[in-house]
Amino acid sequence: MADGCLILCLFCYKLLLSKLVITLNILLHTNNSKIQKFKMIDLPTRKLYLIQYLAQSQDEVFLETLEQLILKKEGITKNNYSPFTVEELIERIEKSELDIRNGKYKTQEDLEKISANW
């Protein structure tokens, strides 16, 4: 769960940094003179305004648009993954079994010791 939150935070951070001007155009639904005034505010304050707006927004279309802009910029598509083929699954199983035979694995106890230091 923590990894998912971290990914979401990083995603939002990239959103704020990379698409701020575009977002402001969409957000303000206004002309460039108001955008120029807004751009005169320091960057941290602009980010806080945007975070506040996003936190309160109920506009699914707007949020989806922002997500798509970021994904496009990052070169990520939502359906970028395809299921494993039967051959790929068999290959992965065989590699895993070989790793186990060669002692290349961690037990539950090992993982608990490692995670205790986090």
How far is it, in rounded angstroms, from Cα 16 to Cα 49? 10
Q: Please say whether the beta carbons of 53 and 27 come within 8 A.
A: yes
CA angle 20/62/44 to nearest 5° reads: 25
How far is it, in rounded angstroms, from Cα 18 to Cα 63? 15
Indicate whether 80 belongs to any domain: no
Q: Do residues 92 and 62 both lie within one domain? A: no
Indicate whether 81 belongs to any domain: no
Q: Do residues 50 and 108 both lie within one domain? A: no
Indicate whether 58 belongs to any domain: yes
109 lies in which domain range? 86-116
How far is it, in rounded angstroms, from Cα 78 to Cα 13? 19
Q: Do residues 93 and 67 both lie within one domain? A: no
Q: Do residues 25 and 46 both lie within one domain? A: yes
Neighbours of 37 (CB within 10 A): 10
Q: Do residues 28 and 68 both lie within one domain? A: yes
Q: What is the pLDDT of residue 104?
A: 93
Distances (CA, A) of 21 to 18, 38, 66: 8, 10, 12
Please count the structural domains in the chain.
2
**pLDDT 10s digit of each residue in the chain, 118 long?**
444 544 555 555 555 555 555 655 555 555 555 555 656 778 888 888 888 988 998 989 888 888 888 888 877 665 656 788 999 999 999 999 999 999 999 999 999 999 998 8
